[in-house]
Structure 1
Amino acid sequence: MEEMVEQIELLLEQKDDIKLQEYLNNLNISDVEQLIDDLPEYGPRFIDSLSLKRAVNVFRILDFPTQERIIKKLPGTKIAEIVKELPPDDRTSLFSELHGDTVKAMILQLSAEDRKEALMLLGYKEDSVGRLMTPDYVTVKKTWDVNRVLAHLRKYGKNSETIDVLYVIDSSGVLVDDIRIRDILLVEPETKISALMDNRLIALNVNDPQEEAINVFRMNNRTALPVTDDNNILLGIVTVDDILWIANEEYTEDIQKIGGTEALDEPYMDMPLLKLVKKRVGWLIILFLGEMLTATAMGFFEAQIAKAVVLALFVPLIISSGGNSGSQASTLIIQAMALGEVTVADWWRVMRREIVSGLLLGLTLGIIGFMRIYAWTLFSDIYGPHWILVGLTVGIALVGVVLWGSLAGSMLPLLLKKLGADPATSSAPFVATLVDVTGLIIYFTIAVTLMRGVML
Structure 2
Amino acid sequence: MAMELEEISLQQKFDEVIASENKLQIQDFLNHQNISDVAELIYANEDFENQIISHLSIHRAVSVFKILELPTQKRIIHDLPAFKTAELLNELPPDDRTSFLSELPGSAVRELIKTLNPDERKITLSLLGYPENSVGRLMTPDYVYVYEHDSVEDVFNTIRRYAKSSETIDVLYVLNDKGELLDDIRIKDFIMAAPEKKVSDLMDGRFISLHAEDDQEVASEVFKMNNRVALPVVSKSNKLLGIITIDDVLWVAEEEYSEDIQKIGGTQALDEPYLDVPLLKLYKKRIIWLLILFVGETLTIAAMSGFQKTLEQLLVLSTFIPLIISSGGNSGSQAATLIIQALALGEITIADWWHIAKREIISGILMGVTLGIMGFFIVFGGYHLFDLFGIHYIRIGFAIGIAIIGVVLWGTMMGSMLPLLLKKLGADPATSSTPFIATLVDVTGLLIYFSVAYLFLQGIML
TM-score between the two structures when normalised by the length of structure 2:
0.95
CA offsets per residue over residues 346-399 of structure 1, 9 Å max, x none? 222211111111111111111222223333333211222222222211111111
The 1-side partners of 2:8 and 2:286 are apart by: 35
The 2-side partners of 1:171 and 1:155 are apart by: 20
Q: Secondary structure at the match of 2:167?
A: coil
Which residue identity is paired with 1:123? Answer: G
Moved more, 79-88 or 36-45: 36-45
CA offsets per residue over residues 178-231 of structure 1, 9 Å max, x none? 111122223333333223222111101111111211111111111111000010
The reply to whether residue 177 of structure 1 matches residue 172 of structure 2 is no
The 1-side partners of 2:144 and 2:455 are apart by: 74
The 2-side partners of 1:394 and 1:15 are apart by: 77
Unaligned runs of 5+ in 1: none
The equivalent of 1:39 in structure 2 is: 45
Deviation at 1:430, TM superposition (A): 0.5
The equivalent of 1:393 in structure 2 is: 399
The equivalent of 2:102 in structure 1 is: 96
CA offsets per residue over residues 64-119 of structure 1, 9 Å max, x none? 21111011111111111111111011111122222334333332332222221112
The reply to whether residue 356 of structure 1 matches residue 378 of structure 2 is no
The 2-side partners of 1:435 and 1:152 are apart by: 63
- Percent identity between the two aligned chains: 57
The 1-side partners of 2:391 and 2:185 are apart by: 79
Moved more, 248-257 or 336-345: 336-345
The 1-side partners of 2:341 and 2:46 are apart by: 35
The 1-side partners of 2:258 and 2:238 are apart by: 33
The 2-side partners of 1:261 and 1:102 are apart by: 28
The 1-side partners of 2:448 and 2:392 are apart by: 20
The equivalent of 1:446 in structure 2 is: 452
Aligned pair partner of 2:172 in 146, 150, 166: 166
Which residue identity is paired with 1:292? Answer: T
The equivalent of 1:228 in structure 2 is: 234
Task: Please report the RMSD computed on the Cα atoms of aligned residues, expressed in angstroms.
Answer: 1.6
Moved more, 279-288 or 368-377: 368-377
The 1-side partners of 2:71 and 2:355 are apart by: 43
Moved more, 203-212 or 99-108: 99-108
Aligned pair partner of 1:308 in 306, 314, 321: 314
Alignment of 1:265-304 (within 5 A): 265-304=271-310
The 2-side partners of 1:250 and 1:276 are apart by: 19
* Count of residues in Structure 1 that have an aligned counterpart in Structure 2: 456
The reply to whether residue 66 of structure 1 matches residue 72 of structure 2 is yes
The 2-side partners of 1:86 and 1:418 are apart by: 38
Moved more, 8-17 or 273-282: 8-17
The equivalent of 2:122 in structure 1 is: 116
Moved more, 225-234 or 208-217: 208-217
TM-score between the two structures when normalised by the length of structure 1:
0.96
Deviation at 1:13, TM superposition (A): 4.1
The equivalent of 1:148 in structure 2 is: 154
